[in-house]
Structure 1
Amino acid sequence: MANIFTDLLKRIKIDYHDYRKELIGNWNLRREAKQIDKAIKRAKFRNLRDNRTYYILKDNRGGISALTRMEINYWSARGMFHNMNYMQLLRASIAIVTSNQTIQEQYNQEQLRKENNHEQSNKRKSGRKSHKSDF
């Protein structure tokens, strides 16, 4: 009889642990979405003032910022971002806010290319056979 209660208690602890991990994960996703929305709003407001291109990036510490190229170079020198050329910057950006149509089109093309590469890698992974099925 005691084994039933200890097993039940262990199962409850495991379920609670899984529930907390899922709850924290969902909360982090919502928090990140809010941070992205706020960064885009800040970038739009700044873009109206100075007509610069703002890149929405996630830094090494997990924060999401709206930065110009000059600010990215400044923080890259201090280790917050990796040194990136223009195309790497477009790939790493979560979003961009710009009044220049050419930059917007380049960003859209890079995002499409990134999505296509991701889909192709998923197709390759799903097409592989595991070693267990060979036996």
Structure 2
Amino acid sequence: MARFTKDGKVESETLPSTLQRSDEKAQDTFAATLDSAEEQYGDGERARRTAFASLKHGFEKVGDHWEPKEEKGPSDEQAAGRRADGGRTSGGVDANSSKEHLYALARKLDVPGRSGMSKAELVDALQKANDRETRKAREDRPLRNESIS
């Protein structure tokens, strides 16, 4: 399914709701990768995972949307290929960033108890805060395509 108009703009209603609330570069990255992955793999989960992996290379999830990362690169051990067990990802949280960066995001999202958390605990708490903010945004501002994250 083409996600671009004839003039090259992303049709945002074809994107996951978190990307509909993100900047144009994040939308372009996801849409272009998803279109390409669907050509190669077909319409389905593998294409979506590929598009999110590409997105996470340059963006991190902050609350209900995606923001550019300070440094491009894999967001967690799964994305870096260091987990052979197919384990869970960090859900858009840049687990490879510094503890100071994670703490700043936790402060921005008002995560309780953040000052005493380890880096791994901050990653988990940020995932939960992001999920909570996304749910809240969907309740406050329902979008056309709510079936996709």
Shared fold (TM-score, shorter chain, > 0.5): no
Task: Considering fraction of residues, name the structure with more helix.
Answer: 1
Higher relative contact order (CA 8 A, sep 6+): 2
Give me the TM-score of the superposition, normalised by structure 1.
0.32
Larger Rg: 1
